[in-house]
Chains A and B, each alone.
Chain A
Amino acid sequence: MISALRPTLLAFSQFVRTPTLGRRVAGLLALAIALLLVLNLAVFVLIQRTADFNDTVEEAQQTRFVAREVLTRLVDAETGQRGYMLTGRLEYLSIHTEAIQRLPDLFEELTGLTVGDPDLGPRVEHLRALSDERQILMERTISLARTGRFDEAVALVRSGRGKVLMDAMRVEIAAIDEIQTTRLQFQTRQSEWAGNVTVIANAFGGAVILVLAGASAWLIRRYIYEVQGARDALDRLNAGLENQVRVRTFELTRANEEIQRFAYIVSHDLRAPLVNVMGYTAELEQAGRIIDKQMTAVETKAPKLVEQDALTAVREDVPEAIGFIRASTEKMDRLINAILKLSREGRRNLVPEPLDMTAMVRNIADSVRHQTHAAGAEIVVEPLPGLESDRLSVEQVLGNLIDNAVKYLDASRPGRIVVTGEETAGGWIVYRIADNGRGISDRDHERIFELFRRSGRQDRPGEGLGLAFVRNSVRRLGGDITLESELGKGSTFILKFPTRLILPAAGDYA
């Protein structure tokens, strides 16, 4: 239970310790609620006290009533006694007896009402003692009168003891009355004061609650304004950012298009002179053949006219020169075509689609099977994660890398090319093409990706185009290519592609 509460408690203490607007609002509301509870409690106490006060008032009235009733009964008893003494008629005696019989009940009630009361208790006891004595006195006169000793009875009455007792009782009752009245007055004042205090406290508490609620409302309002303001600012910032991105993208796209256009123009303008070089080389060759023919004819008819140097020039130097011109021109043409291919690839529209990479790489591996077979090598394609990208580009990239791996195997050991892949965090997929071939020396790790640059022994045909093309394509697909390699051990090309190729919307370039 405690452990379950812990996170909540931690969160709460964190909330309390952090000076936030939310904490302030919560604090104000908690204060208002606490105040409301205190006010409720005060009202409850007041009600309780008022009820108590009502009880006290009732008790006091009852005490006064019963005390007076005691006196009334005694007066009734006295009336009965006197009537009997005067008339000797028994109905007066019954009035007396009836009154006396009520007295014990009344005293019991009185004692019950005043028990434990330091002021009233003794007075009630005194009243009871006086009443008892008065009763005894009355019983004696009545029994004297009953036995016919009227003189003695009258003398007893005349002694005035009865009046003394009755007066004393009146004094006691008046005193009880007085005490009760004083008490009631005091309590009434107290009750009134408590009532006033409660009303004032209620009014004050209500006002404070109103203020607190107002403050909370104001804070919340301010908070909402702040939030709204922050959101507006964010929206503005976002809009600015989007605009900036659009502008930058546009600039980049334009720069890229310019480069493409440049490559395109250069390659075509370079080609035009080559047509001439090749064409006139061929014309020269043809002219050379004609001269050679002429020389042969001259040689047979007039050998003395022919200079050995001229023969060497026509039959050896000229064809050799033409051979070099032709070879260089052909190479130049291949290079230009390479640039052209790169520039065209850069302008091709990419069409992303889901690709089954395992099947694709197995196909590529099959297409070079006769080469691997001849070299006694094997290509291992492990199950590869799929990708959503441009099929042709990805195929060309992997084809190039696998071709290279096969092309540059080390003849001293059986070749083994392993293609693996995995998904990594952040929406990337990484493919590795690892071989145990010749490897690439450290200083060439960057160079091999440049156009027309190659590494190691130049014993394989190639223009140094493949990896430049690969890197170009990979970057266009939003990916990257890196190399881990050690000379003489093998190379691993690491391709990193976004899981999904997302092309910028065509409208952005308008």
Chain B
Amino acid sequence: MSHAVKIVMVEDDLGHAKLIEKNIRRANISNEIAHFADGGAAMDYLFSEEVRLNGPMLILLDLNLPDMSGTDILIRVKADERLRRAPVVILTTTDDKQEIQRCYDLGCNVYITKPVDYESFAGAIRQLGLFLSVMQAPDIE
């Protein structure tokens, strides 16, 4: 994974955010991680001019946000000319079939359920980190 790829994490639970970050780091992924605790801030950032300058990025998205649903962000991102090529990984507690289906229909690239069992959670994040290390993210124009 090239250093230019930035990870945008939208996660309202600070504990989860920290655990995710820790485990990504444990997988030796050193990309920059921008964390947003609510949907509004994340949207402001994603649709700001700054993003244009930052090149390729990957979005880690939680669905249960305090101010909006993660799917709303997904819809906006996938409808945007510039952002729609950015890979979106849904990382959430919801394992509801309809929700999963809906997210893939809306264009999410990966859907991961946070397991309560910490070992598998940590494992999953590390796997994700490994996955991120080999995947290619397209440049944001």
Contact = CB atoms under 8 A, between A and B. Distances in A.
Most buried by B among A272, A273, A279, A283: A279
Contacts of B22: 283
A272 B13 contact: yes
Given A268-B64, A272-B13, A329-B116, A278 B121 contact: yes
Interface string A255-278: 000000000100011011111101
A268 B94 contact: yes
A280 interface: yes
Contacts of B15: 273, 275-276, 279-280
A278 B114 CA distance: 12
Contacts of B118: 275, 278-279, 281-282
A456 to B, nearest CB: 30
Contacts, number: 52
B50 interface: no
B94 A275 contact: no
Nearest to B22: A283
Contacts of B116: 271, 274-275, 278, 329, 333
A434 B19 CA distance: 51
Interface in B107-124: 114-119, 121-122
Nearest to A267: B93
Contacts of A272: 13, 16, 64, 93, 114
B81 interface: no
Interface in B3-34: 13, 15-16, 19, 22
Contacts of A279: 15-16, 19, 118, 121-122
A118 B66 CA distance: 133
Interface residues of B, number: 17
A469 to B, nearest CB: 18
Interface in B27-80: 64
B119 A276 contact: no
B105 interface: no
B126 to A, nearest CB: 13
A279 to B, nearest CB: 4
Interface in B83-139: 93-94, 96, 114-119, 121-122
A281 B15 CA distance: 12
Contacts of A274: 116
A281 B122 CA distance: 12
B96 A264 contact: yes
A154 to B, nearest CB: 157
A279 B116 CA distance: 8
Contacts of A264: 96
Contacts of A283: 19, 22
A282 B19 CA distance: 11
A275 B121 contact: yes
B19 A269 contact: no
Contacts of B115: 275
Nearest to B113: A271
Given A275-B114, A276-B16, A279-B15, A269 B64 contact: yes
Nearest to B92: A268
A274 B13 CA distance: 11
B121 A271 contact: no
Nearest to A337: B116
Interface string A341-355: 000100000000000
B13 A282 contact: no
A271 B121 CA distance: 13
B63 to A, nearest CB: 9
Contacts of A269: 64
B117 A278 contact: yes
Identify the 7 closest CB pairs spanning chains A and B, nearest first.
A276-B15, A282-B118, A278-B118, A279-B19, A333-B116, A271-B93, A279-B118
Interface of A: 264, 268-269, 271-276, 278-283, 329, 333, 344
Given A275-B115, A278-B118, 19 more contacts: A264-B96, A268-B64, A268-B93, A269-B64, A272-B16, A272-B64, A272-B93, A275-B13, A275-B19, A275-B121, A278-B117, A279-B16, A279-B118, A279-B122, A280-B19, A281-B118, A282-B118, A282-B119, A344-B96
